[in-house]
Every structure is written in C-alpha cells, then in structure tokens.
Amino acid sequence: MERMLSAIKPTGRLTLGNYIGAIRQFVKFQDEYEMYIFIANEHAITVPIEAKELRQNTKDLIALYLASGIDPEKTTLFLQSDVDAHAKLGWVMTCMSYMGELQRMTQYKSKTANGETGITAGLFTYPCLMAADILLYDPKYVPVGIDQKQHVELTRDLAERFNNRYSDTFVLPEPLMTTVGQKIYSLQDPTKKMSKSEENPKGTIDLLDPPAAARKKIMSAVTDSVGIIQYDPENQPGIANLLTIESALTGESIESIVARFEGKGYGELKKAIGQTVFDFLTDLQARYKDIMASGQINEVLQNGAEKANYIANKKIRKVYKKVGFTITK
Ligand code: TYM
C-alpha cells in the first residue's frame, strides 16, 4: 500500500474550507492508502496563541477529524509534538534551505507585503518544519488545498538536495489536490481564501458554527449582478464558490446543479445550499459532541504516537548517521 500523509494546524476554529480542501480527501483515501494524519501543533505557535486556546483547538481538531470519518483503525492519527523526530529533522531541513527560497514562499510574502509586524523567525522557517513532517514518513502523496502546494514543492526540492548531497534517503512527495474545492473562498470577498484568520466572521463558516448561523452566512454571501446561475469563476466568483460548496458536500456535479437551477434566482440557490450546509453541520456536530463526551481522544493519540514514533525514529536515525551526528557506525 502506498503512503499518504497530511496535517492541519490548530491555530483557530476549523473552517468549511479545511473540510472541503483537506479533511474530505483524508477520509476518502484512508481505504486505499496507508494514511498518516496529524495535528500540526508545533506550527500553531509560529503566531502568538495562548496555551489554553491551543489545547482547546487541538481537542476540537481531533474530535472533528474523527467526526468527519477518519477511522483510527485505518489511519494513524497523532499529535506532532508527541513525535520528537519532527523538530529534529526540522532543524536539519532548516539547514538545507536557502533564505532566498523561503523568502519566495507566497504565504510569507503576503504577510510581509501587508506590513504585518511581529513576524516570528518560526513563521519564516515553518516550511522547513513542514518538509520534515512529510519526509519522515516517505509518503508518495500529500493531500492539501492549493495554498499548501508550494510548500510541498519546496519539500521535494529539499528532499532532492539531501538525497544528492548524502545519498538516497527520502521519497519525493507529490501534492494531491481535489478537483472540486482546492480553494474555498470567503463568502464576503470571493476573491480571498476562506480562512481561520479572516477578520470578517460572516465570510467564514466554522465547522462548529451553530448550523442556523451558518445558513444565514450562506444567505448573505456576496454574489454579483449578472443574475444567471452558471459556473464562471472569473466573472461570478461568488456563485462559483457556492456551487463548489454544494458540489463538494453532496457529491453532485457542478453541471448537474447548474442544470437543476436553470432559470431560477440566486435566492433559491442560496436557500438550497444553506440547507445542505445546515444538515452537514448538524450531523457533524452531533458526532463531534459524542466523541468529546466519550473520552476516546487520549487513547487514539497514544496509539497514533506509538505507530508514528516507530516510523519517524527509524528515519531520523538514518538521517543522523548520514549527516555525521552519530559517531558509531
Ligand atoms: P492549514 O492548517 O492552514 O490548512 C489545513 C488544510 O486545509 C486546506 N485549506 C483549504 N482548502 C480549500 N479551501 C480553503 N479555503 C482552505 N483553507 C485551508 C489547506 O490547503 C491544508 O491542506 N502548513 C499546513 C499544515 C501542515 C501540513 C504539514 C500539511 C503542517 N505540516 C505536512 C501537510 C503536510 C497548514 O498550515 O495548513
């Protein structure tokens, strides 16, 4: 079985974008691949976050992974900080990277372009830690939304550089993106990514939003003055985003949804999608509550950490030998 690995960082509440662009893929692929999914909590402190909030976000994220259908019998589910090898290989990868290539990462560039102050060195070097996260497990594929594609490509470059410098050590991973929903956009500004850190909460649907509030956000989503329901992301990004959400959550193709709403108004389309989102969140949150109450999270993480450490430690031992840290043969 080929391997697949991915992660989400617990910086805020998970969004519908995280579900559609990432978690949905994890669930779909866990039957076909040997799957490793983790909570990237070491990445979460690249921006200031209180310990209490990080703890809560972490628990929520695990429960939402499980509620979404990630099965710990099939998937190794773990916490990044439970596996020391991530930080160890992260340092090696930091020393394999050039300042210039990290400065070209679009996420970093957009933060500095906004004139944000207080950017930490950790935020600058986080793609190196992400490369380590991936390379420890030799996955063939890394399912991500389009905003993370560049980081997976950097990971390939770093793996290749290491392999050339020291000898074959790492598998070169490939980013894997869904056809529908690589990037879900803000409901208030459909040219911007729907994001955990968006200032306007009306633009983002949190997976833990009350379902009725989420429906309201869909009803007040920004559209356009064209007035025709068709899939035209260039000229009608708001409608295209809504059609993508409906398609991703129901499995119905975009063409079929467009045909179903031929001649109808935006209000009707929004009502239908609002209902889809309402039903989806209602089911998901019922499972989330059961999982939070069940106390199974600790056991899942303990088992996951054991399996992940086994693989990751083997790899870090190899790396330590190759770079010359280990002085015995
Ligand atoms: P993060 O936590 O920002 O996002 C987690 C996943 O969700 C996807 N995503 C979206 N997809 C579609 N539409 C959106 N609006 C949207 N917003 C987010 C992201 O592309 C991602 O797949 N650095 C990573 C976490 C990470 C990681 C890794 C991922 C750490 N180590 C190793 C893969 C492999 C991050 O910050 O993702």
Predicted confidence (pLDDT) at residue 197 exceeds the cutoff of 90: no
- Residue 16 near ligand 1, beta carbon < 6 Å: no
Quick check: is 196 catalytic?
A: yes
d(CA 126, CA 81): 15
Q: For the chain, which residues make up each domain, given as ranges?
A: 3-177+295-323, 201-289
Quick check: is 111 catalytic?
A: yes
Residue nearest to atom 7 of ligand 1 (CA): 18
Per-residue pLDDT tens digits for 93-102: 999 999 999 9
Q: What sign does the dihedral 287-292-294-299 (CA atoms) show? A: positive
Residue 118 has a pLDDT of 85
- Tokens 């594929």 belong to which residue? 141
With a pLDDT cut of 70, the percent of the chain lying above it is 100
d(CA 259, CA 208): 32
Domain 201-289 coded CATH 3.40.630.10: no
Give bridge partners of residue 83 from the DSSP assignment. Answer: none
Q: How far is the CA of 146 from the centre of ligand 1 (A)?
A: 9
- Tokens 């909460």 belong to which residue? 201
Among 23-27, 109-113, 172-176, 305-309, name the one with the lowest average pLDDT. 109-113
DSSP 194-212: --TT-S-GGG--BTTS-HH
Q: How far is the CA of 268 from the centre of ligand 1 (A)?
A: 32
Per-residue pLDDT tens digits for 105-149: 988 888 888 888 888 999 999 999 999 999 999 999 999 999 999
CATH architecture of 3-177+295-323: 3-Layer(aba) Sandwich (3.40)
Name the catalytic one among 59, 74, 111, 140.
Answer: 111
Q: How far is the CA of 67 from the centre of ligand 1 (A)?
A: 18
Q: What is the mean pLDDT of residues 75-85?
A: 98
Residue nearest to atom 19 of ligand 1 (CA): 145
- Tokens 């015995």 belong to which residue? 328
State the pairing for strand pair 3-8/34-39: parallel
